[in-house]
Structure 1
Amino acid sequence: MSKSFRTDAFMLGVCYYPEHWEETLWEDDFRRMREMDMSVIRVGEFAWTIFEPVEGEFRFDLFERALDAAHRHGLQVIMGTPTATPPAWLTEKYPEVLNVSQKGVTYRHGMRRHYNYNSPIYRDLCERITRKMAERFANHPAVIGWQLDNEFNCETSVFYSDADHAAFREWAKAKYETLDRLNKAWGTVVWSQTYTNWSQVYLPRATVNDSPNPHHALDEKRFISDSVISFAKVQADVLRELCPNHWVTTNGLFGHLDSHQLTDELLDFFSYDSYPLFAVAYPDGGDNPLLDRRWSSSLSAIRSISPLFCIMEQQSGPGGWVNRMKLPAPKPGQMRLWTYQSILHGADMILYFRWRTATMGTEIYWHGINDYHNQDNRRVAEATRVGHELAAVGQQLTGASFLAEAAIIRDYENEWDGEFDHWQGPLSGQSGNAWFKAFQFRHIPVDIIYMRRKTTLADLAKYKVLVYPHAAIMSDDTAALLEAYVAGGGTLILGSRTGFKDETGQCRMMPFPGPVASLCGITVEDFTVIADSGTPPDIAFAEGYGQEDAKYTALLFNEILRPEDPSVETVAVYDGDYYAGKPAMTRRPYGQGEVWYYGAAFNDAAADAVLEKLPIATPADWIDAPRQVELGLRDKNGELLAFLLNYGSTPATVAVHKEVVNLLGDGPVDGKLVLEPYGVAILKLADN
């Protein structure tokens, strides 16, 4: 059973920091929130010094007054545990709680997230502050749930304190039991790295050329994920014990953490912090970058953890710290657009970050809804519009399922291994982005799902098409699962470097693509990485495939394919370099389905050319929308809701061939709908 957020009425709110503001502002702030149809606030996640100014001395009166005031105005409250920001008295007295860089530099007080997960005393102190807060606020009528810490593994996702090295050694003992097994898994016979005593085992330390053992480095990421989950469990257990009527979540999606496992084991649902302007500041490559529309990919990944989730921080203004990150102001309409982007993809509760821009500290340029001067502005007006809209129609949206017949597959093992492996790591990002764009521009809703040990055939079989572009690490069990999916009628797309590593990250001594070679009906005859200074060759599609005016380039890595089964069709060949004319892409019918294999990373055009031939199309063929509009569908008890999101700076005209009403408009749509720049519509069939 999936872990989802459940609510009858849509919940809109804002992050609030009562400790930052004069108490005389609270009542007016809360009054205005309610006038904007907000119903929930998040507080407390950075306030440890307020709660415990001196070790063992606890003061909750400031927040009790703030919560009482919020409750008087009908606001509900999410409490954050403040463990992301240990106080100065704590780090001074217990410096062993601090995180350390791989080169041995200790991260000192003065920022946030400067602790490590494995310090025993830090875990004890975190358990104590969580317990004291839970005892104090368990029965407060405003409190509905808890956020653990804040953005696990944000700022940094590697940890090298003495406590981490010691914990890693015990983790490795539990995993491998003997040094012989560890040495075999890590391939330590190479370069005389063999360990002969457990005391020699550490997390990867600084090495010549920053090149630690790659199998050791993969286990490091697994250990960090387990450390986060173990640390979070200390707090979650306290809250389950003392606050049984409250839900528990955490926020953010960051590296070296299996957020699926974290949610399965500890949370009621997962929450995300959505900042689409990062995609504008750091755009994807290729033609027609998605910009803020790319954030739909991130939201789709969250949906794989919790089909219905919370946005704990929704961007509402320009972003930046005083010394890094410069994100421009959202254009008029974009804040509302991003809110409905989150709702389309599964958010039933959204809190804007933040109510008012901070006047002090590192984030004085990370703007909230209100400016420093607290006067009306266009962000306040836009948030008010959203609040009034959701008050009117939100109940029709909550609990609705996102509908998709295609999915892009990811997995943690390959994400972690690919960070260090420059021969295959960049491939997944390139191809995943190209495929997401191809689905987006053809208005085909797509899920992003994670391949896990607990993934079943039923999890995969609900999709007509699966794209698993570059699974270098692939177990025999996963290969068997994919084979059963294709045999049962599914269409599977694979890419270069598939299946050449086992679960330790070691290369298999078998023809590539390893355990799926027989499924694909091919082997890899030869291969080459495309050097940074090199020019990738073009590919030429066979007759009936591709478009004459498109540019098909075989990016990053090239495998020369050899068909081994007579049923294999060569779809495209390389059109350059010494392997010109050799197979680059193949298609093989298998059982009731088919499997495609591409010996490179996909560019936008190649992904679109394949998608053109797949047994899938837009499920809303009664809507004709331009490419600048995202189309997505949510289903609530058989009632279909079509979201139209215009990411363009110009109006978009949409043709509608059924009788519908626009829930955000003035009623029925008469054949044509014009979306304003950054405009939104939610269409419901008129006879529903």
Structure 2
Amino acid sequence: MTKRRKHSWPQPLKGAEARIWYGGDYNPDQWPESVWDEDIELMLKAGVNLVSVGIFSWAKIEPREGEYDFDWLDRIIDKLGRAGIAVDLASATASPPMWLTQAHPEVLWKDERGDTVWPGAREHWRPTSPVFRDYALALCRAMAEHYKDNPYVVAWHVSNEYGCHNRFDYSDDALRAFQKWCRKRYKTIDAVNDAWGTAFWAQRMNDFSEIIPPRYIGDGNFINPGKLLDYKRFSSDALKEFYIAERDTLEEITPGRPLTTNFMVSAGGSLLDYDDWGADVDFVSNDHYFTPGEAHFDEVAYSASLVDGIARKQPWFQMEHSTSAVNWRPINYRAEPGSVVRDSLAQVAMGADAICYFQWRQSKAGAEKWHSSMVPHAGADSQIFRDVCELGVDLGRLSEAGVLGTKLDKAKVAVVFDYESEWATEHTATPSQQVRHWTEPLDWFRALADNGITADVVPVRSDWDTYKAAVLPSVYLLSEATSRRVRDYVANGGRLFVTYYTGLADENDHIWLGGYPGSIRDVVGVRVEEFYPMGDDLPGTPDRLALDNGTTAHDFADVITSTADSARVLASYQSEPWIGMNGVPAIVVNDFGDGRSAYVGCRLGREGLAKSLPAMLEALGLEELKGDGRVLRVERTDEAGDRHFEFLFNRTHDPVTVSAEGEIVVASLADAQAEDGNVTIAPNGVVVVKR
């Protein structure tokens, strides 16, 4: 088990009371100083008490090698601090200046074809470059020495969104680092050969010097899956090693000042193993941008719950999200009215004690000039800024009511997410390119919510096996150790939901033999011999399968050829005889030890799962968990149980009236005058009640 750093949280400025941190990225170097005083005045009006400064300011802080200009940064930090606004100060290393890359082009990362990625954007550095590390750590030391005694700096913001653009590097620096990583992980070249299955296609290696990154191998060819999976692990580790070097340099000079770096956790955000990274920050922080459309709110809640799982229910920091449209999608949709407050309160409900945005003032030039902000191009006389001010009031009310010191209550059900299973399912030679791990956990979270059950989303390394019920949704990789946890959990009375594409391979992407799901067949009571992928890419190919419970499978189904004597079938397929799936089991419940499992052998999507869940809940003895699916209820409680907050979010497009007993602390798009314990919440609305 990875040892985790002790949780440490940014403390309020001297003389100030602890409150939910509220603010955003602030880039004063993009604006003339005449704007700074107006910014601070507006920040105070909005209730802002913290801003992140200097994230992309290396070229201004160190305009020439070894020459530092802290004067402008000193002035703005002093202005902010005197106004009572704390500073989360960046190491400023995210984007190297032009003078550095011109003098040392060897720090630039290379793509899989060996082409250099030139400056012109950001993150154009390679994490394995010893030259770049020297320059970056020199800047860290200079920043730490200069600001070590500054009373207004409450935390270090180390770099920014590691791996957002430089996740993979295929340079010779990376080659040498990958060879070193493999030697540390496997000890012998024979162990590497075994892990990567190099007997296939004559890929056997005689020495670690023969290991190369998964560089370009020609269109239509297939990278060794074990090697590619390890390169994704290596790339996450290489960036983390760079972060740790920055962290330790800052910490050596400024001990006791909390350090973090902003993750990018979302439903599909799997660039790095953020659960692994979570052990190496003083507090977890995250950047999240909403998914437009009908999944908007559920995906926000899902992702926030996963961040809470990564933080192991310690307070976490929402470092970036948007007040409205972003700039990087093909179509940058506006956020719906009410979502500025609702989305932020969803993150607070899920354990965040800090709410910040990118960015404070919308840029008038540059690649992100069309990205929304707290102060938009329209200025303070705008609905966005009025929403920002409303949110500041709401966060203040929650702080005064005592929400700090409470944590997200442990749910009854855990939905398990695994970064490495997602990476493995991304390979280009799989049973179906339409199947990925990440989509299934989100569908289960939403389907459970449709049945009135708010689940915790937790990493596979976490304590998912201490929940009343757990879901393994397309967790493709199950090691022997994790398989043993599954077996022990159910044998000891746990209730487990398992889906197709779970437990197909071990941690090296070697298939468990004997029928799927190889390592836990006895737990789920089914044996799968073959798959039934579905699609519409060729005329006449099957694109769906009907189930006799009224739902429809799409994309993927298991061909279950036998079930255990202890199992019973809840649903089967209905199809034409020539397909060979008519009557094949689709959903199977099995007794195992003192517990019970439900196996869903096909992709039903959120709607099919929601419709199938009542029967599965009843079969597993969990029917008492069902509730009102129109509202997502989330609860936070202090350790002593004296302070209890319930957050109620309307998940529908119609007003809903629900019970809300207690003192209403916040009501956004809702009737705050609860009568007989009821409150009416409009679409995109939220109510927070204290008991």
Tell me the TM-score normalised to structure 1 length.
Answer: 0.90
* CA distance in structure 2 between the aligned counterparts of 1:565 and 1:328, rounded to whole angstroms: 50
* CA distance in structure 1 between the aligned counterparts of 2:297 and 2:674, rounded to whole angstroms: 29
* CA distance in structure 2 between the aligned counterparts of 1:66 and 1:304, rounded to whole angstroms: 36
Residue matched to 2:105: 95
Offset at 1:394?
1.9
Q: 1:241 aligns with which of 224, 237, 252?
A: 252
SS in 2 for 1:263: helix
- Establish whether residue 113 from structure 1 lines up as the match of residue 123 from structure 2: yes
Check 1:655–1:412 CA distance in 2 against 1; reply closer, same or farther (3 A cut). Answer: closer
- The 5 A counterparts of 1:3-402 are 6=9, 8-208=18-218, 209-253=220-264, 254-264=269-279, 266-276=280-290, 279-280=291-292, 289-306=294-311, 307=313, 308-321=315-328, 325-372=330-377, 374-395=379-400, 396-402=402-408
- The 5 A counterparts of 1:259-658 are 259-264=274-279, 266-276=280-290, 279-280=291-292, 289-306=294-311, 307=313, 308-321=315-328, 325-372=330-377, 374-395=379-400, 396-403=402-409, 404-420=411-427, 421-423=429-431, 426-452=435-461, 455=462, 459-533=463-537, 534-541=541-548, 546=549, 550=550, 552-576=551-575, 577-612=579-614, 613-614=616-617, 615-616=621-622, 627=630, 629-636=631-638, 637-638=640-641, 639-648=643-652, 650=654, 652-656=655-659
SS in 2 for 1:448: strand
CA contact (8 A) 1:424 1:472 kept: no
Offset at 1:591?
2.3
* CA distance in structure 2 between the aligned counterparts of 1:357 and 1:472, rounded to whole angstroms: 42
Offset at 1:333?
1.7
Moved more, 484-493 or 324-333: 324-333
* CA distance in structure 2 between the aligned counterparts of 1:493 and 1:389, rounded to whole angstroms: 38
Check 1:373–1:540 CA distance in 2 against 1; reply closer, same or farther (3 A cut). Answer: closer
Check 1:427–1:618 CA distance in 2 against 1; reply closer, same or farther (3 A cut). Answer: farther
* CA distance in structure 2 between the aligned counterparts of 1:89 and 1:617, rounded to whole angstroms: 64
Q: Which residue type is aligned with residue 443 of structure 2?
A: A
Q: Which residue type is aligned with residue 126 of structure 2?
A: N
Offset at 1:317?
2.6
CA contact (8 A) 1:430 1:601 kept: no
Q: 1:680 aligns with which of 660, 676, 686?
A: 686
Offset at 1:413?
1.9
Q: Which residue type is aligned with residue 446 of structure 1?
A: A
Check 1:532–1:163 CA distance in 2 against 1; reply closer, same or farther (3 A cut). Answer: farther
SS in 2 for 1:678: strand
Tell me the TM-score normalised to structure 2 length.
Answer: 0.90
* CA distance in structure 2 between the aligned counterparts of 1:413 and 1:178, rounded to whole angstroms: 23
Offset at 1:681?
0.6
Check 1:373–1:663 CA distance in 2 against 1; reply closer, same or farther (3 A cut). Answer: closer
Check 1:664–1:500 CA distance in 2 against 1; reply closer, same or farther (3 A cut). Answer: closer
CA contact (8 A) 1:443 1:618 kept: no
Check 1:648–1:521 CA distance in 2 against 1; reply closer, same or farther (3 A cut). Answer: closer
* CA distance in structure 2 between the aligned counterparts of 1:337 and 1:70, rounded to whole angstroms: 28
CA contact (8 A) 2:554 2:604 kept: yes
RMSD after superposition: 2.2
Moved more, 519-528 or 358-367: 519-528
CA contact (8 A) 2:308 2:350 kept: yes
Moved more, 152-161 or 300-309: 152-161
CA contact (8 A) 2:415 2:456 kept: yes
- Establish whether residue 661 from structure 1 lines up as the match of residue 668 from structure 2: no
Check 1:348–1:354 CA distance in 2 against 1; reply closer, same or farther (3 A cut). Answer: same
* CA distance in structure 2 between the aligned counterparts of 1:677 and 1:556, rounded to whole angstroms: 32
Q: Which residue type is aligned with residue 220 of structure 1?
A: Y
* CA distance in structure 2 between the aligned counterparts of 1:564 and 1:649, rounded to whole angstroms: 42
SS in 1 for 2:38: helix
Moved more, 238-247 or 517-526: 517-526
Q: Which residue type is aligned with residue 165 of structure 2?
A: E
SS in 2 for 1:585: strand
Offset at 1:603?
2.1
Offset at 1:431?
2.4
CA contact (8 A) 1:561 1:585 kept: no
C-alpha offsets along residues 152-184 of structure 1, whole Å, 9 cap, x if unaligned?
111352211221112111212222233222222
SS in 2 for 1:223: helix
* CA distance in structure 1 between the aligned counterparts of 2:22 and 2:331, rounded to whole angstroms: 27
Check 1:489–1:513 CA distance in 2 against 1; reply closer, same or farther (3 A cut). Answer: same
Check 1:617–1:153 CA distance in 2 against 1; reply closer, same or farther (3 A cut). Answer: farther
Check 1:523–1:649 CA distance in 2 against 1; reply closer, same or farther (3 A cut). Answer: closer
CA contact (8 A) 2:444 2:473 kept: no
SS in 1 for 2:424: helix
Q: Which residue type is aligned with residue 436 of structure 1?
A: F
CA contact (8 A) 1:78 1:146 kept: yes
Check 1:634–1:436 CA distance in 2 against 1; reply closer, same or farther (3 A cut). Answer: same
Offset at 1:617?
5.8
Check 1:618–1:437 CA distance in 2 against 1; reply closer, same or farther (3 A cut). Answer: farther
C-alpha offsets along residues 298-355 of structure 1, whole Å, 9 cap, x if unaligned?
111111111221011121132115xx54322223322111111111111111112211
* CA distance in structure 1 between the aligned counterparts of 2:375 and 2:221, rounded to whole angstroms: 45
Q: Which runs of 5+ in 2 are unaligned?
A: 12-17
* CA distance in structure 2 between the aligned counterparts of 1:604 and 1:2, rounded to whole angstroms: 37
CA contact (8 A) 2:417 2:458 kept: yes
CA contact (8 A) 1:445 1:618 kept: no
SS in 2 for 1:679: strand
* CA distance in structure 2 between the aligned counterparts of 1:168 and 1:538, rounded to whole angstroms: 44
Offset at 1:509?
3.0
CA contact (8 A) 1:539 1:584 kept: no
Offset at 1:620?
9.4
* CA distance in structure 2 between the aligned counterparts of 1:580 and 1:344, rounded to whole angstroms: 45
Moved more, 519-528 or 464-473: 519-528
Residue matched to 1:286: none
Q: Which residue type is aligned with residue 239 of structure 1?
A: L
CA contact (8 A) 2:137 2:249 kept: yes
Q: Which residue type is aligned with residue 438 of structure 1?
A: A
* CA distance in structure 1 between the aligned counterparts of 2:489 and 2:65, rounded to whole angstroms: 57
* CA distance in structure 2 between the aligned counterparts of 1:194 and 1:590, rounded to whole angstroms: 42
Offset at 1:295?
1.7
CA contact (8 A) 1:222 1:256 kept: no
Check 1:309–1:618 CA distance in 2 against 1; reply closer, same or farther (3 A cut). Answer: farther
Q: Which residue type is aligned with residue 603 of structure 1?
A: G
* CA distance in structure 1 between the aligned counterparts of 2:407 and 2:525, rounded to whole angstroms: 37
Q: Which residue type is aligned with residue 411 of structure 1?
A: D
SS in 2 for 1:433: helix
Query: How many positions carry a matched residue from both structures?
Result: 654
